Every structure is written in structure tokens, then in C-alpha cells.
Structure 1
Amino acid sequence: MDKTVITSPSAPPGGPYSPGLISGDLVFLAGQTAPGATIEEQTEGVIAKISALLAEAGCTLADVVSCLVHMTDLSEFQRYNAVYEKHFPEPRPVRTTVGAQLLGSARIEITVTARRGPGGAA
């Protein structure tokens, strides 16, 4: 199986893992977190990192087919969802959201899988 690592200066890895991988026509991104004082700020930062990594793979948020979201406080879901909704176009990806303990001051972490169309970068 061929795998191509995706990196972006906007989303450096925080440990010994690949920020993203391309395998065939699928793009897998590691969970992304971002600094910020509020759930809205962190969500905006996470989506910006995801967008940067997707761009390196020749994709956009419109190519995302699945999101896995971890949140430290599920009572912030509606505030997070308002930010998410304005960035992901219809048809939106399938999504699972779970409560979790995250590292550091992260309140949210989003992992995505996308599908590259014809002509995507390698």
C-alpha cells in the first residue's frame, strides 16, 4: 500500500506521527487541536489547520467525508456546531462527536477523512 505524508507549516505534528496521509484517493488527517480561549476560537483554529493540510493534498473541506470530534465539555456543542456549520458545505460529512479528556488546554480535537477527486495533488 502506498502512503504519502502530508505536512503543512500551519499544522505541525505534536509528536512522532504524520499529520496526514494520502493512500489511494483517500486522505486521512490526524486529530487537530488549536489554541484559543473559547470553544469558538479553538474550533476556528482547528478548521484552519485541517484546511491547510487538505490543501496540501489537493482537497478542500468540501471533500471531507467523515469527521470524528472529541470535546472536553459537551455542553459547548451548540457553540462549536455554529462554527463547524459555517465551514463545511452541504452535503456535510458524516460526524461522530464524543466527550473526551484531551491533552493540555485543548477543548476540541477533530480528525477527518477526505476523498480526493481526479487531478488531486500527490
Structure 2
Amino acid sequence: MTVSRASNPTRRQRDGTAFVGGFGKTTGDSDLLFVEGQLPERDGTVQHHLTAPEQLERCLATLESKLAAHGSELEGILQVTIYVTDMDSYDEINAVYERHFQEPYPSRTTVGVCDLLGGAAVTLDAVVALE
């Protein structure tokens, strides 16, 4: 039996972080900020050599910087979606998440995926309430 994939890993919607295609990085012109496709980047390069938990740390550090630019903090996050290429790293990723957020945690969905842009193991989206 042949299993077909929903995506082909040789096709990219963007190459690295320079080309964003139809994807935005942040959107919103209201009291909500939508951050999408937050990759584990440093100086415009995806840090794909890091472990999945280290990549999530990088994503969250960048997210904190973006939020600070909007006068917000992690406490303003309402919802997070984490995409991960290896669900075996779930427990380690969860530990990172718990270190960065306090109870009551923002709602979260963790999605296992085949492939992420730039060879990343983790990326995230967030919905943030701006006050």
C-alpha cells in the first residue's frame, strides 16, 4: 500500500526567510495581534541545527521581542499553535512552553507536520490581546 503525502518536501512556499510569498509575519490593526510563522531565526537565518526545544526557545525569544515592540508581553497571548516535525520531542517542547508561560496557560494546539520552512523543527503562531 502506498501512502501519499499531503505535501512534497521538495517544494517550498518560500526559500529560507527571504521570500515570504503570500504569508505575513504579523497582521492586525486592532486590539488583537496575529503572529504567524514564527520560525527559530537569528539574524534572518533559520537555526535548524538546534534541537526542537532550543528552536522553540528561539521562537519564543523572538516572539517576546515582537510583542515588546507592540507594548505587550507573553501574558497577553490568548492562543498558540505550535507546529513540530517530530512529535517524539513533545515532552521537551512542553517543558519549554511551561517555563515561558504561567497558569492559566494560553490555549494551545500542537500539530505534527512533515516539514517546515528552512528545515526548522518547530514554528508557532500566536494570537495576542493588545491593551
Percent same amino acid among aligned pairs? Answer: 33
Query: After superposition, what is the alpha-carbon deviation per residue over 1:34-56, rounded to whole angstroms, capped at 9, x for unaligned?
Result: 11421121011000111111111
Q: TM-score, normalised by structure 1?
A: 0.79
The answer to whether the 8 Å contact 1:71/1:97 transfers is yes
Report matched runs for 1:81-120 at 5 Å. 81-100=94-113, 101-117=115-131
Match of 1:51 among 58, 61, 64: 64
- Which residue identity is paired with 2:60? I
Structure 1: 4+ residue segments shifted above 4 A: none
In our comparison, the structure showing a higher alpha carbon Rg is 2
The answer to whether the 8 Å contact 1:20/1:53 transfers is no
What is aligned with 1:15?
20
Say which SS state the counterpart of residue 119 (structure 2) adopts. Answer: coil
The answer to whether the 8 Å contact 1:20/1:27 transfers is yes
- Which residue identity is paired with 1:91? P
Aligned pairs, how many? Answer: 106
Q: CA deviation at 1:111?
A: 0.3
The answer to whether the 8 Å contact 2:53/2:89 transfers is no
Q: TM-score, normalised by structure 2?
A: 0.74
Query: After superposition, what is the alpha-carbon deviation per residue over 1:4-44, rounded to whole angstroms, capped at 9, x for unaligned?
Result: xxxxxxxx875244321233110110121111421121011
Say which SS state the counterpart of residue 59 (structure 1) adopts. Answer: coil
Quick check: 75-84 or 17-26, which moved more? 17-26
What is aligned with 2:82?
69
Give RMSD over aligned pairs: 1.7
Q: Gaps (5+ residues) in structure 1?
A: 1-11, 118-122
Match of 2:31 among 22, 25, 30: 25
The answer to whether the 8 Å contact 1:22/1:57 transfers is no
Q: Gaps (5+ residues) in structure 2?
A: 1-16, 41-46
